[in-house]
Structure 1
Amino acid sequence: MNDLVEAYRETNIVEANWKVIWENFNECLHCPGVHPSLCSLIPVYKKGHLAPHDAGDWDPETAQPEPTLRPGARSWTLTGEPVAPDFPGLSDAERDAGQTYAVVLPTLFVVAHVDFVSIVSIRPLGPERTEVSGEVLVAPETLANPDFDVNQIVLFNTQVQNEDAAACEMNQRGLRSSPFEHGVLMPEEYQVREFHQWVQRQLIDGAAGGARNNREPLVAV
């Protein structure tokens, strides 16, 4: 990624807590009702699953490899076709995956495709407001190509991000509702549970660190 260059950047404000945005990222139960274009591109999302092994009847002994993207599609664009040559050095498995995720909590996540990389950065602005920035990175020769159409990437990915933003803002309004006490996680939301556990660890570690820092001056005296 060191050689890639920025082809597009956009920053938006989402009226939701930053943790709501990460919860949305970590599950796909919302996908069938929120992301029609994304579900068309990635068939397993139509079932509300992040991956085939989320299905209740999935058996590792009998499961057959499934392509991530619909037949004929190879990237997250309006047509499903790459808008640039494949990055060099990709394995067949990486090409077949359709997308590869990398997460750096709580700051950003990266989604790599065969022809471009997107980076989404998350910055809290308040209890119910978050700045979300999206970048598209491509090879320098791709950006220099006059036939390169970044809109093929931007229009598809912006649609998905706007749909997620609307869902997060709706969830935030629900959290403000007086009858709300707590949510219930479904089995498919195992990554949301892992995120909750990560948040809890940060709070515990932060409290312990704060207690140590508060004691240090007393010890020094």
Structure 2
Amino acid sequence: VFSGLTPAERAAGQTYATSLPSMFIVGHVDYVRTVRLVPLGPEQTELVAEWLFAPEALAETDIDNIITFGTQVLEEDAAICEVNQKGLRSMRHTSGVLMPEEYDLHRFHNWVRERHAALCPD
């Protein structure tokens, strides 16, 4: 559906872009998915996912399977995040080093530090 993609781009299947602090966009070969995280309070977040299809892709694409699979992955990721967050309010919790795979989280931490430093120089 997206014209002008190279064979390598088609083979990759998807490309991610992160918009700090709380959104990422995934460009697939035949659709785009956006995911936003909306803080509702200190311990609650709403996740909003949208799938965007070009009109010509609607007849050729199995939209139900794409959305079902994407929703399943988001729900599994949410469950993992919830388990990971348990106990963070505990006095015994100390933060640690991020894993290399957490590069977006590292970028977010740096983004927050830079904004904070700009607002509070001393």
Highest RCO, 1 vs 2 (Cα 8 Å, sep ≥ 6): 1
One-letter amino acid of the structure 2 residue matched with residue 152 of structure 1: N
Which structure is larger by alpha-carbon Rg, 1 or 2? 1
What's 2:88 paired with?
175
Inter-CA distance 189–104: structure 2 relative to 1 (3 Å threshold): closer
What's 1:185 paired with?
98
1:128-143 equivalence runs, <5 A: 128-143=43-58
Deviation at 1:117, TM superposition (A): 0.8
1:87-106 equivalence runs, <5 A: 87-106=2-21
Q: Distance in 2 between matches of 1:142 and 1:108?
A: 24
Inter-CA distance 190–106: structure 2 relative to 1 (3 Å threshold): closer
Inter-CA distance 184–107: structure 2 relative to 1 (3 Å threshold): closer
Task: Give the unaligned 5+ runs of structure 2.
Answer: none
Alpha carbons 2:20, 2:108 under 8 Å: kept: no
| 1:83-137 superposed Cα distances (whole Å, 9 cap, x missing partner) | xxx3222112211222101111013110011111100011111111111100001
TM-score scaled by length of structure 2: 0.86
**Percentage of identical aligned residues:** 52
Count of residues in Structure 1 that have an aligned counterpart in Structure 2: 122
Alpha carbons 1:118, 1:134 under 8 Å: kept: yes
From 63, 72, 75, the equivalent of 1:150 is 63
Tell me the C-alpha RMSD between the 2 structures: 2.0
Task: Give the unaligned 5+ runs of structure 1.
Answer: 1-85, 212-221
Inter-CA distance 137–191: structure 2 relative to 1 (3 Å threshold): closer
> Is residue 2:75 matched to residue 1:162?
yes
From 28, 33, 42, the equivalent of 1:113 is 28
> Higher strand fraction: Structure 1 or Structure 2?
2
TM-score scaled by length of structure 1: 0.50
1:51-90 equivalence runs, <5 A: 86-90=1-5
Alpha carbons 1:117, 1:136 under 8 Å: kept: yes
Q: Secondary structure at the match of 1:169?
A: helix
